[in-house]
Amino acid sequence: MSVSVPDTASKPHKGFRLDLKTAGPLLALILLIILGYSLNPLFLGEGNVTNLLTRSAFIGIIAVGATFVITAGGIDLSVGSMAAFIAGMMIIIMNAAVDSMGASIWTVLLGIGCSLILGIGAGFINGFLTTKGKIEAFIVTLGTMGIYRSLITYFADGGTLSLNSGAREIYRPVYYDSFIGLPYPVWVFIIVAVLGWVLMNRTAFGRYCMAIGSNEQVARYSAIKVDRVRTWTYILQGLCVSLATIIYVPRLGSASSATGVLWELEAIAAVIIGGTMLKGGYGRIGGTVIGALILTAIGNILNLTDIISNYLNGAVQGVIIVAAVYLQRGSFRTGRRAKKPE
Amino acid sequence: MSMKALTLALAATTALAGAAVAQDQIRIGVSIPAATHGWAGGLNWHAQEAEKRLEAAHDNIDITLVTADSPGDQASDIEDLISVQQIHALVVLPFESDPLVEPVRQAKESGAFITVVDRGLPDTSIQDVYVAGNNTELGSVSAEYFLTRLGDGDNIVILRGIPTVIDTERFDAFMAGIEGSGINVLDDEFANWNRDDGFEVMQDFLSRFPDIDGVWAQDDDIAMGVVEAVRQAGREDEMFIVGGAGMKDVIKGIMDGDTLIPVDVLYPPAMIATAMDVTVANFTSNGPVQGEYILGAPLVTQENAEQFYFPDSPF
């Protein structure tokens, strides 16, 4: 591939600086953990760590998908509404299935299957409209964001859709039960992150994403099927949203118009905190995972202490997010300067 | 020719008859926020139910229901109701109080009868009728219940809504109500009237405090999230939870004798129906209706829960 792609692994001689750059988000997370522990030692208690990891799974899984979209120079604002819409449809479908054939494991599998189809379909619509429709991703996904949010409100009659209690009992363990000490949502998060990492760093698809994000024209001249790769990033995003929804629904067994509000911004924030560039061209899945953990940890720490006035929670979050990105950009800049000659 | 004349005459008669009917009709416009969260969903449902019921009961009442997504939207809605529908009365639940003063004043100046619901306008001279729930009472009624269950040295946590006047009124009244009882408030955090936030905040309270005897969630959506967190921790037998508003799932649970959420405090979205009834009464009753109607925030217990249960409502 003739396209220039930043590749940390191939430049071992700049070890320390590059390490700092890679480690920026990790450093921020470690500082945050120390802060959390010093404010309240319970922060590292077993129960709290499990809660934190499980909670970060939703945003984390969605953010892994968003890493591909953003790396390829796109943006998806519809993920929060999409999650609410898919959750609502899953509940409606499962409730209908319970009415017609009773609650069984098949009801839940049916719901999960529908969720996957809806997620992939919704992702394809976003991708198709952006590439073939030649509409800016911001506008397409702003549009679909409004559409999905209205649809869930409409189907819920403005209220809340609740899963039939029989199906709920069967489905509940997916969120609440554990395998070797870790709850299932955390496992899903780990698997998605590992697959995402391989796809981004070890396959042609990942390199195409970075190439398109850094220079679309050059990528086109290099015979990369830009539209197809772009569309695939949105489909991946849709798939990730559907996976997140599958583990979200058993938590409260309900969906309403208030579900998933602002998830899109949290996911994008996790991606950027993790070191991916918002303008595209460079993506880091590992960083995204850490970004999601940082975001979740901030909220958790604020709940575990009462030193800070409740009214200032948003301000603390803002300061930490900006500081985390600064930490990582500060070293990123030196990394880039070192690479200029290339 | 004669055929044409006949048609003309017929058309004229029909038009006249139509005009006569239109004159007898009393047109009432109802403007409320769209169903963007549970409580507003209940509001919309009860408004639609009241519309059906009132139009069926009175031949000459014609109700137009419009919902708005923002204060600006609502201002346009009200302008349309005045100019297009030429309403005789306006029932309005303002999105926000201040931005809607002028649109409602215009409606008043066009001669319409004005009923304001829940969120009061700063200029009360505009309204003929004011119908509202009582946030202060919601706080103090909840506090009274906590006093019956808990005493000196017992620990509670509080999950608040969104930082607004509504939340502050509820919170201050509750704190005043339990003052001096020795009940210890471990902490309070905002849960934004949202189930997911209720779940997460409660998870954190549970890992932070080993001894919690009661939870005041002051809202049923938050309470539903709290219940899941408490179940996850397996600490159902340790504490009770009190929400607020009157969500059907919660009311049903109380009817069935749930011990985790034993009571609820009413802040009914059905108040829109009360407002519409009073407005219609202004045109149909021979008694005066102008004034302020502040609904109570009664304690819903197993004994009286049935009268507050609306199984068909989305909320």
Q: pTM above 0.95?
A: no
Q: Which residues pair with B158 in a beta bridge?
A: B188, B216
φ, ψ for residue A74, nearest 5 deg: -105, -170
Q: How far is it, in rounded angstroms, from Cα B102 to Cα B98? A: 9
Question: In whole angstroms, what is the distance from residue B298 CA to residue B315 CA?
Answer: 18
Tokens 């964001």, residue located: A145
Long-range CB pairs of B49-56, under 8 A, 24+ apart, other chains included: B49/B273, B50/B272, B50/B273, B50/B276, B50/B277, B51/B276, B54/B276, B54/B277, B54/B280
- A-side interface with B, Cβ within 8 Å? 40, 42, 45, 47-48, 51, 55, 153, 156-160, 162, 176, 251-252, 254, 256-259, 261, 299-300, 302-304, 306, 310-311, 313
Question: CB neighbours of A214 closer than 8 A, spacing ≥ 6?
Answer: A3, A4, A5, A280, A281, A282
- Hey, what long-range contacts does B116-122 have (CB within 8 A, 24 or more apart)? B116/B92, B117/B32, B117/B91, B117/B92, B117/B93, B117/B271, B117/B272, B117/B275, B118/B93, B118/B271, B119/B93, B119/B94, B119/B95, B121/B94, B121/B97, B122/B97, B122/B98
The DSSP letter of residue B245 is: B
Distances (CA, A) of A201 to A64, A66, B5, B194: 13, 15, 85, 38
- Closest approach of B234 to chain A, Cα-based (Å): 12
Instruction: Write out pLDDT tens, residues A144-203.
Output: 999 999 999 889 887 788 898 889 889 999 999 988 889 999 999 999 999 999 999 999
Per-residue pLDDT of chain B (315 residues; tens, 9 = 90+): 455 555 555 555 444 444 444 457 889 999 998 876 778 888 888 999 999 999 998 888 889 898 888 888 888 888 888 888 888 999 999 887 778 888 888 888 888 999 999 887 877 888 899 988 888 899 999 999 999 999 899 999 999 988 777 788 899 999 999 999 999 999 999 998 889 999 999 999 999 999 999 999 999 989 999 999 999 999 999 999 999 988 888 999 999 988 999 999 988 888 999 999 999 998 888 888 888 888 888 899 998 988 888 888 878
Alpha-carbon distance A321 to nearest alpha carbon in chain B (angstroms): 20
**Would the pLDDT of A103 be above 60?**
yes
Split at pLDDT 50, 70, 90, the class of A21 is low
B187 to chain A, closest Cα gap in Å: 7
Interface of B with A in 23-42 (CB under 8 A): 34-38, 40-42
As a whole number, the mean pLDDT across chain A is: 87
Domains along the sequence of chain B with CATH: 2-133+269-284 (3.40.50.2300), 135-265 (3.40.50.2300)
Judge contact between B187 and B217, C-beta under 8 A. no
| Alpha carbon distance, N-terminus to C-terminus of chain A | 15
Instruction: Give the other-Cβ count within 10 Å of B10's Cβ.
Output: 10
For residue B29, give the 3-state DSSP assignment: strand
Q: Dump strand ranges (E) for chain B.
A: 26-33, 61-68, 89-92, 113-117, 129-132, 155-160, 184-190, 214-216, 240-242, 264-265, 291-294, 299-300
Count the helices and strands in chain A (H runs, E runs).
Answer: 14, 4
Identify the CA nearest to A292 among candidates A192, A182, A158: A192
User: What residue spans define the domains of chain A?
Assistant: 8-339
Q: Quick one: fold of A8-339?
A: ABC transporter involved in vitamin B12 uptake, BtuC (1.10.3470)
First-to-last C-alpha distance (Å) of chain B: 62
B190/A303 CB distance under 8 A: no
Helical packing angle, A285-304 and B195-208, nearest 10°: 70
CB contact under 8 A, A158 and B314: yes
- For residue A275, the distance in angstroms to the closest alpha carbon of chain B comes to 27
- Residue of B189, B80, B169 lying closest to B118 (CA atoms): B169
Q: What is the dihedral of CA A130, A133, A134, A135, to 10 degrees?
A: -60
CB B131 within 8 A of CB B118: yes
The 10 Å CB-count burial string (b at 16+, else e) for B287-301 is: eebeeeeebebbbbe
Q: Within an 8 Å CB–CB cutoff, is residue B69 touching chain A? A: no
Give the whole-angstrom CA distance, residue B135 versus residue A175.
Answer: 36
Q: Which residue of B has its CA nearest to A310?
A: B189
Angle made by CA atoms A244, A318, B167, in degrees to the nearest 5 = 80
* pLDDT of amino acid A334: 52
